[in-house]
């Protein structure tokens, strides 16, 4: 599997000793990376040792938008004045669970004073980027980081050396974690008897069975790899907007606001079950074990008000995952996938998606236009 991270930075896992109070946080010295990437319209939050390939993470959490938060530990006003830290600690926590994953940044601290717990503007910016990605926001990571690249309080150039960290104390529930520019992995912090393993609650989305259009697009893109000459002329032909330009949020969000309940229900039926279940859980609270089956998703949708449904739909339409999916679909169409994709979606396109009088698939802007026109005819017939 080819993974393209949205953001990657050094960080380490932490163990939590809850046998006494205040809790003791013990950093694990294994060097590692935290990285986030998008797949199937959901963000993966991952940690791996630095000597392990990116596609073999020790921690891989599929994050439902708005369920997770990535926040820094406040060293200035801890819940217990005796609680001290000598490292930059961040926590990944969930709205649907009392579980915590704690991390410590492994890049060298950038403060002039030598305070190992001081979070530089860059550290805080990285934590903010991760948290915003977990909320489903679109983030220009390069631009965001460049705005603080030279904004640090250090007397030396901010290098990429690793930091060391000793054990630190933490008060139970006494603050949340965060991430700095080079944080590493995550471990599980269980708070209370009802804490669940990561993935048993909102952290992992259930996969839906059966072939679908998304699978058809993924399979086609995978088939392009290593195929010499295929798609080489995709940039030729008619200029035509990308699907994510045609379906900009300025167009889609107002449609969600004006859609009837039946239309909203139809659109929500295409979401992963976990998204629907967790959306309702976020509004109602509770600590029961989540059921992420299709029946549970249908029940969650039926229990939502129209306003709740529209709010969820607009979150999805604004999410970076939705935008990335449109880009992937556009790329697949431009690279010759129109015949197979239109067939998988049940959309009739002119000449079956092939060049007139031949068996060569349409490519470039011609293919995207043919796909859009096919959808228009499909809707008009309905």
* Tens-place pLDDT, residues 181-236: 333 333 322 233 232 233 333 333 333 333 444 555 555 555 544 444 343 334 44
Q: Over the chain, what is the mean pLDDT?
A: 74
What is the token pair recorded at 286?
């509770």
**Span 340-346, average pLDDT:** 89
**How far, in Å, are 27, 92, 309 from residue 98 at the CA level?**
21, 11, 26
Q: Do 367 and 333 touch, CB atoms closer than 8 A?
A: yes
Is residue 171 scored above 70 in pLDDT?
A: no
Rounded CA-CA distance 10/322 in Å is 28
Confidence band of 375 (pLDDT split at 50, 70, 90): very high
**How far, in Å, are 12, 266, 299, 315 from residue 121 at the CA level?**
20, 44, 44, 28
What's the confidence (pLDDT) of residue 318?
83
Q: How many CB atoms lie within 10 A of CB 252?
A: 18
Read off the pLDDT of residues 94-124 as tens digits, 9 standing for 90 and up. 887 778 899 999 988 776 666 778 888 999 9
Read off the pLDDT of residues 46-60 as tens digits, 9 standing for 90 and up. 999 999 999 899 999
Biggest CA–CA distance in the chain, Å, is 79
pTM reported for the whole predicted model: 0.45
Query: 3-class SS at 46?
Result: strand
**Span 273-282, average pLDDT:** 78
What's the confidence (pLDDT) of residue 287?
39
**How far, in Å, are 109, 168, 187, 326, 334 from residue 101 at the CA level?**
21, 15, 5, 32, 41
The number of helices, as runs of H, and strands, as runs of E, in the chain is 12, 10
Which residues make beta-bridge pairs with 17?
24
Rounded CA-CA distance 104/73 in Å is 10
Confidence band of 1 (pLDDT split at 50, 70, 90): low
Read off the pLDDT of residues 7-43 as tens digits, 9 standing for 90 and up. 999 999 998 887 777 778 888 999 999 999 988 778 9
Q: Do 274 and 331 touch, CB atoms closer than 8 A?
A: no
């Amino acid at each position: 599997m080819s993974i393209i991270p949205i953001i990657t930075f050094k960080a380490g896992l932490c163990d939590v000793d809850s046998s006494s109070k205040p809790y003791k946080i013990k950093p694990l010295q294994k060097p590692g990376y935290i990285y986030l990437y998008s797949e199937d319209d959901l963000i993966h939050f991952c940690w791996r040792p630095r000597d392990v390939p990116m596609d073999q993470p020790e921690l891989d959490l599929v994050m439902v938008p708005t369920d997770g938060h990535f926040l820094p530990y406040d060293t200035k006003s801890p819940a217990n004045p005796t609680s001290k830290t000598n490292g930059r600690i961040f926590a990944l926590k969930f709205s649907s669970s009392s579980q915590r994953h704690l991390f410590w940044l492994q890049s060298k601290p950038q403060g002039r004073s030598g305070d190992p717990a001081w979070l530089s503007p860059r550290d805080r910016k990285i934590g903010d980027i991760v948290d915003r990605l977990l909320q489903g926001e679109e983030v220009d990571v390069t631009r965001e980081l460049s705005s603080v690249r030279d904004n640090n309080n250090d007397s030396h150039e901010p290098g990429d050396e690793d930091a060391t960290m000793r054990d630190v104390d933490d008060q139970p529930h006494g603050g949340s974690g965060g991430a700095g520019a080079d944080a590493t992995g995550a471990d599980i912090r269980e708070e209370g008897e009802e804490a669940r393993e990561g993935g048993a609650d909102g952290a992992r989305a259930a996969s839906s069975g059966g072939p679908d259009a998304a699978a058809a697009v993924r399979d086609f893109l995978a088939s392009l790899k290593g195929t010499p000459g295929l798609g080489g002329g995709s940039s030729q032909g008619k200029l035509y907007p990308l699907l994510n330009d045609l379906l900009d949020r300025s167009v889609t969000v107002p449609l969600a606001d004006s859609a009837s309940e039946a239309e909203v229900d139809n659109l929500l039926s295409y979401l992963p079950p976990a998204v629907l279940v967790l959306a309702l859980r976020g509004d109602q609270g509770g600590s029961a074990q989540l059921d992420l089956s299709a029946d549970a998703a249908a029940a969650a949708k039926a229990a939502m008000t129209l306003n709740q449904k529209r709010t969820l739909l607009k979150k999805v339409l604004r999410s970076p995952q939705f935008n990335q999916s449109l880009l992937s679909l556009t790329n697949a169409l431009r690279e010759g996938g129109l015949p197979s994709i239109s067939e998988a979606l049940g959309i009739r396109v002119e000449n079956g998606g092939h060049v007139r009088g031949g068996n060569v698939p349409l490519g470039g802007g011609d293919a995207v236009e043919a796909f859009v026109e096919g959808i228009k005819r499909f809707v008009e017939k309905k």
